[in-house]
Amino acid sequence: MPNIIHAADLHIGAKFEFLPPESAAQAIRLQLTALKALVEHAASSAADALLIAGDLFDTPEVRPQISSVVFSILSKCPCPIFLSPGNHDYYHAASPYATQPLPSNLHVFTSRTLTPVALADGSTVIWGAAFQDNKASIPLDVRLDPFKLNICLLHGELGGNSGYNAISESAVISSHFDYIALGHNHRFSGVFRIGETALSCPGCFSATASNETGVKGYLSGKIDKSIAALTLHPSGTAQFEDISLSISGLSDDTALAEALFPLLPTPTEHICLTVHLTGTRMYEPNLEALSRSLRKTFLHAQVFDESAAMQDPYRYKDEDGLRGTVTRDFMHRISENSHDEQTYAKLSLALEYALAALEGRDPE
């Protein structure tokens, strides 16, 4: 039962231009640090093969300064590496896979159709193919030896008609592969079965857009004809996280900081954080000060105020009737407690809830 590592969509060479220059440079450094850690994991876990399901690089043509560093890191991997180029790093005449010296342990599939390479154990066969443009359609109908463990390594997506090597469920079932190692989709699919075939897409090893939130990583574990015991391991690349916080009822920046602190993700030094302030604001928060404070510990941080301004709480003070009576009562109580910020805020919020009930609406 071979021990396999399955990674995809490393996107090395991405420029992270949507980040400030200093944060972008750190995100790039984290990619290479994570690649080194991946190779170290291959050694410590005694992996039999490292599978890369496309988009090792972010672009089809790569500066030699980048590709040479990547190939040098991969050359230190103690097990064979198999790569099926994807829509970002597709195989062509100017590709680094065609123009640069490749490490001896790296096998790049270059054909548009699946071709096999046997592992040293003699019982496992890795099948792979390459995008040769930014679109591809790679059939799975190859003749397999049923007495071998057959693993298919492809950049592509399950279903759809996008042109990025869409694979139908019926094609998976009729292929009789034991495991299909996919790339392209940047969100982890889980490990699951269609018919007798196990398959998975680990999601991107390295996120390259702020909406690709959450921990990114790679799969590692044992694969057999009836077992795909694979676990997702964090890669350690830059991570993007979104937080939404309602500031309804918060009276100042101190209260805002106290409400936000328990929601902050860790480890902060790898995270680019976006905070969305929602609800109804009772005051004008100091967004720049909050952003500066967060950037002291996070790789990057930005704060957006998406809250609505609270209506004049005393808009019914001159009105006859119940709304006017309630408003004047609260005005008097709030005035008496103007020196106590906490009580002032509670009474102001209570007035908003009371008026919302009288107006037949939800509180802001």
**For the segment 150-208, what is each residue's pLDDT rounded down to a tens digit?**
999 999 999 878 889 999 999 999 999 999 999 999 999 999 999 999 999 999 999 99
CA-CA-CA-CA dihedral for 253, 254, 257, 259, to nearest 10: -110
CA–CA distance, 260 with 250 (Å, rounded to integer): 11
pTM tops 0.85: yes
Q: What's residue 352's pLDDT? A: 85
* pLDDT above 90 for 292: yes
**What is the length of the chain?**
364
The pLDDT tens digits for 215-228 are 999 999 999 999 99
* pLDDT above 70 for 253: yes
Lowest average pLDDT, out of 89-93, 141-145, 340-344, goes to 340-344
Q: What's residue 310's pLDDT? A: 79
The mean of the pLDDT values for the chain is 95
* pLDDT above 80 for 125: yes
Mean pLDDT calculated for residue range 233-251? 95
Q: What's residue 59's pLDDT? A: 97
> 83 has which bridge partners?
52, 108
Mean pLDDT calculated for residue range 232-238? 97
* pLDDT above 70 for 364: no
Say if residues 131 and 91 touch (Cβ distance below 8 Å): yes
Lowest average pLDDT, out of 277-281, 323-327, 348-352, goes to 348-352
Mean pLDDT calculated for residue range 309-330? 90
Percent of the chain with pLDDT over 90: 87
DSSP string, 95-123: SHHHHSPPPTTEEE--SSS-EEEE-TTSS
* pLDDT above 70 for 354: yes
- Residues 6 or more apart whose CB falls under 8 angstroms from that of 355 comprise 313, 316, 323, 326, 327
What confidence category does residue 307 fall into, taking pLDDT thresholds of 50, 70 and 90?
very high
Mean pLDDT calculated for residue range 328-357? 88
Determine phi and psi for 43, rounding to 5 degrees.
-70, -50
Q: What is the DSSP letter of 361?
A: S
What confidence category does residue 75 fall into, taking pLDDT thresholds of 50, 70 and 90?
very high
* pLDDT above 90 for 348: no
